[in-house]
Structure 1
Amino acid sequence: MTRSRHYRFLYILLSSILGIALVACDHRIDLPADAQVRLVANLSGSAERPSPVNSPGTGTFVGILDRSTRVLSYTLTYTGITPTAGHLHRITPNSPTLTGPVEIPFAALGSPIIGTAILASQGRADSLIRGFYYANLHTPANPAGEIRGNIRVDGPVKLSAVLNGASEKPTPTPSAATGTFAGVLDPATRVLSYTVTYAGITPSAGHLHRITPNSPTGVGPVEIPFAALSSPIIGITTLTTATRVDSMLNGFYYANLHTPIYPAGEIRGDIKPF
């Protein structure tokens, strides 16, 4: 098999795998009206928005949403902090900080926090399924929130990014090149499968970077180098820790393609759940 045919075969194979995974994990489409939807979240200080918090606290959220009744039953456990308040928040539409007001306050704060609530409307229930809610525990040291977890449907998570010069940090580039990142991350196994396509440049290097916590420039070191650079770039890797998984799910990774003209990066895309 020639090199080009080999890459084409890999592209078709991974595309098929990704297609199957995307259908399997896209709980937002074709859910039965009476579906019992399992929801999960991992709470950490690094997930706090708009600014991460350096906290020893961690937590987990597990819930079941009955679509027919809009009843949400949940259990939240935590360690490492003593919260003075706790809630489920709904992200304000188009919020640049991905934050929003309280929707469901916790009646008690001792771990485990166990509760039941009825979502106000089917639209609210759909927002919960689509990932627009988060659990937040607040402390006197961090009254805006010390540990947070973005609630998502249990199972593999689709990820995407659009790469362009305008997204480069700390300084955008005038590049006309474009690209896309599409991936699937299984939080249980920490396995990430991805495809990066691009046009308009000949990269000399490419990577997935993790943003340094509290970085004022929104940049960070290389974590996952691309083994090959021809488009499409296809890769499978295992993230090193559950904390890295949380970082990726909370938008702290980006794809970057570098060129001799722009060695710090010509086009970039911030990776987010799809």
Structure 2
Amino acid sequence: MSIEFDSYDEVSTDDEHLFSTPLGTVCEGWKEAKIPMNNTETFSAVVQFVDEKKLQSESLLHYSSAEQLVIVGGARQNDMMPFTNEKGVPAEATSVVHDFNKGYEYALDSSRCVRLSALPNNTADVLSSAEGALTLGPIMNMLIASDLMFGNYGQVLNSDGRMLDVYRAIDKKTNDTVEAYFYGAQLENYATYKLVNGVPTLSSHAQFTHSPADVVPTLVERIRSCFTQTASAPSENNTFTFEVKSSMSQFSKFDWAVHYKPLYRNYKRCVWPGS
């Protein structure tokens, strides 16, 4: 049997729901799929975030497995540094550097070193062994909860013309839906949906503006000053003691709009948890 078409029309906006799953919706029995992000590459981005109260903030994340460095800066949430979730960082510090090669943490402001300390063992970027050795964890530990089970929900056309892969998961702790948008192996957007009056509603979202990995040179002098300041007040024998735990090597406006194309023809029953 053969079928021929004389013509066809683009699916109208009103009918698009017949071909795609709605935003924030998961499908019962959907096949699990691993998100494509490469944990070994350098990741450097400015992240614009809108929370549940519609407050906007901006943060920086630089991660390099080759350099064994993590750099975070920008807006804090609940007194925690972004991405590493570290508490107790001096209020005047605008950025924090974790140096896994040397085992140091540098807390910096815009012009100087605020504090030099040992690497913490309880932040999102650190893996701690039973013996107390600290190693650099995977980048995903700082971006997406490791216990989420994602499914691949096809592709969407971003407003800049790129096709993004869509992954969705249910956060069993909150019953929220988490959506992650990837361009290849590069995380572009991240969103959380809550159920409001039976309808999945966008609660918070983040957009990643990837930038060249040139953050480190801008911090070198401030990092050096951490040692200069510490050494400027020596003990009686002109030495200073510093406890270091072992370390081993192992913004533009928000552009959130995505436009669905008719990529879905058949899909299983889609439900919102608790509905």
TM-score by length of 1: 0.32
Greater RCO, 1 or 2 (C-alpha within 8 Å, sep 6+): 2
Q: Which has the larger radius of gyration?
A: 2
